[in-house]
Amino acid sequence: MVSLEQAFATLIQAAGPLGTERVPVVRAAGRVAAVDVTAPGPVPAAPRVMMDGYACRAADLAGAGPGRPVRLRLTGRRWAGSAREAADAAAAGGTGGVGPREAWQVSTGALLPPGADVVVPTERARRVRDAAGEWVEVAVPLPAGRHVAPPGEDVLAGQRLVAAGDRITPRRAGLLAAAGIGWVTVWRRPRVLLLATGDELVPAGRGSPGTDPAAVPNSNALTLAAAIASLGLEVETGGIVPDEPAALAAALRRAAASGADVVITTGGVSVGPRDRVARTWLDLGARRLLGRIDVKPGGPFFAGRLGPVWVLGLPGSPASCLAAFEVLVRPFLLRLAGQRTIVRPAVRARLAAPWPKAGDRPRLVWARLDRAGGAVEPLVPSMGRLEAVAGSDALLYHPGRGAAPRPGEAVWALDLEASEDRAWPDWFAPPAVPAGWAREGAAVPGSRAMGGGGPDRPGGDGEPDPGEAARSQPGGTAGPGTAGPGEERLGQPGAGAQPGPADAGRPPAPRTGAPRPGPPVVAVTGRSGSGKTQAAAGLIAQLARQGVRVLAVKHAAHGFDLDRRGSDSQRLAEAGAVAVALIGPEESALRLLRPAGDADGGWGPDPAGPVPARVRPAGAGPLPPASTGTARDGGTAGGDGEAAEGMAHPRASAARPPASGLNPAVPAPGCPHPGDAGASQPDAPGSGAGTGGIAWTGWVDRLVDACQHLLGARPDLVLVEGGAGAGWPEVVVGEAKVPPRAEVVARLRPGFGPRELEAAAAALARWLAAGSGGGGGSRGAEPFREGPRGGCGEGGADRAPRPTAPAPKP
Ligand SMILES: Nc1nc2c(c(=O)[nH]1)N[C@H]1C(S)=C(S)[C@@H](COP(=O)(O)OP(=O)(O)OC[C@H]3O[C@@H](n4cnc5c(N)ncnc54)[C@H](O)[C@@H]3O)O[C@H]1N2
Ligand code: MOO
């Protein structure tokens, strides 16, 4: 029997989206974007009036004041939607715009007339008519730009509006339309056919157990149909199928030929003589993917492929059927739908009442979650079983193996009220091959690959869609019509890899409830040329061997060339970092580990080599969007806007920071350091050279989010290589932020070699194991630890404490 975790991995990693189609933006809401959609131009495209009033020149208002009104001649007007008056005025011998000491009457939404640079609201102006004509008197000096929206105020040109794999919400669809986008490439919606099996079943709403005790209303189908429809899939209920073998076989054969992508049955998957669903699918030629699962309820299960059709058998008992749906089938369907986030968050919650069952085997329990209090109450069997299912808003999971959890102990609670925001369930160890990481079209026998070529070409409607681009890779701008490998790097599900080798040897991932602290941040500092990169790569290699997922951050103060072979970032990636973030003065990039066996992509012969995920100018928009986890992750980041402010690159400051910018700020030399008071940077005083530093405000969280987003798992550790430090490489640890007050766990000496690195890694591992790092908990909220801890830096690494690690720049 497979575990729930294995079952999830098998199902999810075998599935991928079903191909793309183009839909007009008016029908895009609710669909899943198949490519990134970026703004073709700024919105507004030209300065726009934001108040009903008078457009004029700010210079003319300079002398205005109470009792000293400035008088402007009214020479034109312009309403929203009209730009003709300029031409009319020009034809009439006027200036064609607002001249000195002139004003035009304007309405909110109008284009700012040429020549004008400010709008005086109606309330602040007085209209005067005399023999010489019409005038406007203004008694307030208003600066240029007041009540005028500059181009790009709503949307910046090139800004990502929707990311591949995102469900397009109604508001996002509105945004696309506002940006002038007409058509969107989306993943095709899976078609689901539901069949209920069982002679005892009667259609829901007809027949009652009260009048016919043997009758069972087909309640599963209506629950499943509503739940699946709410995911944006097409769903059809195919009615009730008798248990009689020939009738069952005929019904399943018809279902498989119905054009559905997925046929889901309920009932008949257990071991009784009339439980023939799995057998019948196999007889019809289906290939089995999964059978019974080691979990209760929900254990009786079947998943297979019959030609291009996915066939799933859920148990009949509603509490089991719906539990299996929530933990397996729902994520699976979302994956077929192309959605990048397919799993709801689970939290660690305190058990508020006794565990209702023995703890000897893996169990799911319907429950009610007290989100504010972090407590959870199992509802079985305190109520009727079905009543409990209906009254639940959480599913508890206990993996079995030993004693049942006791009241007060923490259990995993899948929040059934939260929307999907992650790619892998919290309650399983991160997958060795991250979810969504499989290459599209990669061969899985019998799976419906992405037509071998990925997304369909845009439809033959001839509608241009200049706003859309799969701009995932530098130099390789895969258009919507090509199977850009970049798309899968966005975490696009593919029909791809089998579950990777289990996470053997990997220490359990930090498992914490919400709010979840960020992973610990470690810096390798040292003077230029001191061997920092060598030290960082060595540490990463050691940590990776122990199964620690390291996100390496390389501060490239002078910019970087992403594709340069032998670059530091490549060394870090090759050492075994799951991702390498490059933070440069003008752009940032995140490289992700490429799954083994995926050879193309131009990164050289190493099949496990990294690929560039994306590069964006610092001001131009986020790396992958911060998942909704960002706010919860809290700790170091403010809200999106705040963080974005803190992260705006000074050179991009003319442009507004994007609403959910991920780009860390890399202040230019001498720039005041943006960010919150606790922000610091790895550059120590004396690093001189004006390299600036990395502003920590929020962006570590965002990089971590990006990893979660793209790899389906959070890194266990963030390792920053950068900053001058004292001299020779030092391994500096801090909490969520790198110094000012951090401790040095290891210091390497000139000529350090593998032995010294090993010792440094061991010192770091001890620090992590001591609870300062790796284990989660409340770490993220703690201040920096001051001073050294015992036992650090043994062996080849220097033990010398360094009580004052790099101090913050003023
Ligand atoms: N000897 C064993 N018997 C059973 C085992 C076992 O391990 N050994 N497993 C039990 C478990 S656990 C479950 S769960 C059920 C699953 O059985 P089936 O999937 O074969 O489902 P049915 O037998 O057809 O029905 C079970 C139950 O659910 C009712 N039902 C069925 N369909 C619907 C529907 N569409 N709407 C509402 N209710 C439905 C049905 O009337 C039965 O009462 O097997 C155990 N047996
Ligand atoms: O596990 Mo069955 O699925 O207990 O009700």
Q: Which atom of ligand 1 is nearest to the CA of 196?
A: 35
Q: According to the model, what pLDDT value does residue 432 have?
A: 58
Mean pLDDT taken over the chain: 72
pLDDT band per the 50, 70, 90 thresholds, residue 767: confident
Alpha-carbon distance 44 to 153, whole Å?
A: 7
pLDDT recorded at residue 775: 32
Spell out the residues 6+ positions from residue 669 whose beta carbon is closer than 8 angstroms to its own. Answer: 690, 691, 692
Nearest-CA residue for atom 2 of ligand 2: 297
Shortest-distance atom of ligand 1 to CA 268: 20
User: Is the peptide bond between 515 and the residue preceding it cis, with omega within 30 degrees of 0?
Assistant: yes
CA of 190 relative to ligand 1 center, distance in Å: 27
Which tens digit of pLDDT belongs to each residue from 715-727?
878 888 876 665 6
CB 647 within 8 Å of CB 620: no
Listed range (273-287, 472-486, 735-749) with the worst mean pLDDT: 472-486
Type of residue numbered 306: L
251 pLDDT exceeds 60? yes
Tell me the CA–centroid distance for residue 271 and ligand 2, in Å.
12
Taking a C-beta distance cutoff of 8 angstroms, is the pair 110, 78 a contact?
yes
Residue among 526, 559, 537 at smallest CA distance from 610:
537
386 Cα to the center of ligand 2, angstroms: 13
Q: Is the pLDDT of residue 472 over 50?
A: no
Across the range 331-355, mean pLDDT stands at 96
Q: Record the pTM.
A: 0.60
| φ, ψ for residue 224, nearest 5 deg | -65, -40
192 has a pLDDT exceeding 90: yes
Cα 501 to the center of its chain, rounded Å: 25
Site to probe by mutation for ligand 2, drawn from 292, 317, 328, 364 as the one with most ligand atoms within 8 Å of Cβ, is 317
User: Torsion-angle region of residue 205: left (phi > 0), alpha (psi -120 to 50) or beta?
Assistant: left
CA of 325 to the centre of ligand 2 (A): 13
Task: Give 198 Cα–ligand 1 centroid separation in angstroms.
Answer: 9
E strands in 168-233: 183-187, 191-197, 201-202, 216-217
Q: Separation of 347 CA from ligand 1 center, angstroms?
A: 30
Looking from the CA of residue 300, the nearest atom of ligand 2 is 3
Is the confidence at residue 50, as pLDDT, over 50? yes
pLDDT tens string 366-422: 999 999 999 999 997 655 789 999 999 999 999 988 889 999 999 999 999 999 999
Choose the most confident range, by mean pLDDT, from 320-324, 424-428, 784-788. Answer: 320-324
- Nearest atom, ligand 2, residue 315 CA: 3
Q: Alpha carbon 584 to chain centroid distance?
A: 22
How many whole angstroms from 302 Cα to the centroid of ligand 2? Answer: 14
Which helix (H) or strand (E) is 487 found in, with range? helix 485-489
- 697 pLDDT higher than 70: no
Judge if the beta carbon of residue 223 lies within 6 A of ligand 1: no
Q: What is the CA radius of gyration of the chain?
A: 31
What would the two tokens of residue 632 be? 């919860």
When mean pLDDT is compared across 68-82, 418-432, 543-557, 590-604, the lowest value belongs to 590-604
Cα 317 to ligand 1 centre (Å): 5
Distance 306 CA to ligand 1 centre (A): 24
Ligand at shortest distance from the CA of 239: 1
Nearest C-alpha neighbor of 9 from the set 348, 296, 430: 430
The amino acid at residue 506 is R
**How would you class 790 by CB atoms within 10 Å of its CB: exposed for 0-12, middle for 13-18, buried for 19 or more?**
exposed
Cβ of 369 less than 6 Å from ligand 1? no
Closest-approaching ligand to the CA atom of 363? 2
Which ligand is nearest the CA of 323, by number? 2
Query: For residue 270, how far is its CA from the centre of ligand 1 (angstroms)?
Result: 7
Q: Which ligand has the nearest atom to the CA of 319?
A: 2
- What does the alpha-carbon distance between residue 268 and residue 286 come to, in Å, rounded to a whole number? 16
The answer to whether the CB of 768 falls within 8 A of the CB of 546 is no
Q: Give yes or no for residue 300 CB within 6 A of ligand 1.
A: yes
How far lies 191's CA from each of 13, 66, 233, 451, 736, in Å? 19, 69, 6, 17, 45
Q: pLDDT tens-digit profile of 745-766?
A: 788 887 888 888 888 888 887 7
What is the average pLDDT across 504-517? 35
Per-residue confidence (pLDDT) for residue 710, from 0 to 100? 65
**Ligand 1 lined by 320 (C-beta under 6 Å):** yes
Rounded mean pLDDT, 289-307: 96
Mean pLDDT of the 670-676 span: 26
Q: Is the CB of 266 under 6 A from ligand 1?
A: yes
Q: How many degrees, rounded to 5, is the angle at CA 158 between CA 232 and CA 152?
A: 105
Q: What is the pLDDT of residue 630?
A: 23
Tell whether the model's pLDDT for residue 684 goes beyond 80: no
